[in-house]
Amino acid sequence: MHEAWLETLDPEACLVRLRTEQVGRLAVFSDGFPVVLPVNYRLAEVDGLTWVVLRTRPGNVIDQASIKVAFEIDGIDEIHHRGWSVLVRGTLQRVDPDAADFRVRFDSVPWLTADRDVWLIIEPFSITGRMLHPAEPSWPFSIAAYL
């Protein structure tokens, strides 16, 4: 039986996942402690630049966050013990949604739309990912082998 193993995802595989998902988790510092919050997002790719775009309410934890942030998306298959994750580390910056048609082209379409008037981007300095491959099941004794 082969053991479970981790595969490092190449940059393009990370971007493919970032392009297809809509919800991730943003990690920021608030009052000196880390906070992780779910957010809707959209990946913006223009002229060789890549940004994670999100909207939030004025004055909330995300709006008041420091410039250094992390953002994560993942997919988990608990039945088969496999999954993947992509981690974006970068700087959080405000943008003018009316500049260069940004509002039209890159709206993250938050599920909660009321008062989401602060537009932010994460400008990545690092995008990494990994995929967990499960151990090969022992066929007669693994319920996963029948799913």
- 3-state SS string for 44-93: EEECCEEEEEEEECCCCCCCCCCCEEEEEEEEEECCCCEEEEEEEEEEEE
Q: What is the pLDDT of residue 67?
A: 95
* Tokens (6 digits) for 76: 């988990």
Walk along the chain (147 residues) and give the pLDDT tens digit of each residue. 588 888 999 999 999 999 999 999 999 999 899 999 999 999 999 888 999 999 999 999 999 999 999 999 999 999 888 999 999 999 999 998 888 777 777 777 777 777 888 889 999 999 999 999 988 766 656 565 566
- Residues pairing with 38 in the sheet: 25
Q: What is the pLDDT of residue 18?
A: 98
Q: Which domain holds residue 84?
A: 5-146
- Residues pairing with 40 in the sheet: 23
Number of domains in the chain: 1
State whether residue 41 is helix, strand or coil.
Answer: coil
pTM for this model (two decimals): 0.86
Distances (CA, A) of 2 to 136, 138, 144: 5, 10, 15
